[in-house]
Amino acid sequence: MAKIGIIVGSLRRDSVSKKIAATMRGLFPAGYQTEVVEIGDLPLYNEDLDNGSNVPPEYTAFRSKMKGVDAVLFVTPEYNRSIPGALKNALDVGSRPYGQSIWDGKPAAIVSQSPSTLSGFGANHHLRQPLVFLNMPVLQQPEAYLANSFELFDEDGKMKNEGTLKFLQSVVDAFVELIKKHS
C-alpha cells in the first residue's frame, strides 16, 4: 500500500484548496492511502529552536508523519504570485536539520488554483523550484492549474464541473505512474 501525504497550502477552514484535495483523495485507486497533513500549527522555522534538546514538538510530529509517506500531493492557492508562507515554512521544517530532509526522493505532484483566470501559475512554478532542490521528482504532465476555482463547487462543497473532475483524474493517474516508477 502506498501512502500519499496531501499538503494544502491554504489554512482557511473552507478553502477551495481543501475542497480540491478532498475531491482528489477519492480519485486514487485501491492500494493508495491518502492523508491530509496539517501545516497550520507549525511554528515558523527557526534553527535556534531546532538544536536537538529544544525542538518544538510540532516539528517532530510533522517530520515523523511525513517520513511515513511515500509521495506528496501539494494543493495550493496563489498568494501574491507565489506560494503561501505556511507552505514554504512546512518545506523548511521538513528539510532540516541539514542532511535529514524528509522530502528526499519522494515523488510530488502540484495542483494550484486561483479564483482568477491565471489559475495559480505563479504558485505552481514557485513551488517547483524548492521541490527540485529538495530532490523530489515532480510530476511534469499534466500540469494542474485550476482557474475560476470558486466556481468549481456546489453549496455542499462537491465538485460540479465534470470536465475538471476528469482532468483531476488524469492528474492522479499520471501521479500514480510516477509513484510506481520511483518505488
Q: Cα separations (Å) of 3 from 34, 64, 77, 161, 183?
A: 6, 14, 23, 27, 11
* Cell numbers representing residue 15 in the block: 478553502
User: Of 129, 36, 112, which is closest to residue 75 (Cα–Cα)?
Assistant: 112
pLDDT of residue 143: 96
pLDDT of residue 9: 97
Distance CA 180, CA 159 (A): 28
* Cell numbers representing residue 64 in the block: 515523523
Between vectors from CA 9 to CA 6 and to CA 14, what angle results, nearest 5°?
A: 90
pLDDT of residue 177: 98
- Three-state secondary-structure class, residue 113: strand
Sign of dihedral through CA atoms 171, 177, 180, 182? negative
Describe the crossing of helices 162-181 and 16-25 by its angle, rounded to 10 degrees. 60
Q: Cα separations (Å) of 9 from 17, 55, 57?
A: 7, 23, 21
User: Of 163, 127, 128, which is closest to residue 146 (Cα–Cα)?
Assistant: 163
Contacts of 101 (CB under 8 A, 6+ apart): 94, 95, 134, 135
Per-residue pLDDT 10s for the chain (183 aa) are 899 999 999 999 999 999 999 999 999 999 999 999 999 999 999 999 998 788 999 999 999 999 999 999 999 999 889 999 999 999 999 999 999 999 999 999 999 999 888 778 999 999 999 999 999 999 999 999 998 998 899 999 899 999 999 999 999 999 999 999 998
pLDDT of residue 1: 87
* Domains of the chain with CATH codes: 2-181 (3.40.50.360)
pLDDT of residue 120: 87
Give all strands (DSSP E) within the chain, no chain letters.
2-8, 32-36, 71-77, 108-113, 144-146
Distance CA 116, CA 114 (A): 5
Distance CA 66, CA 6 (A): 10
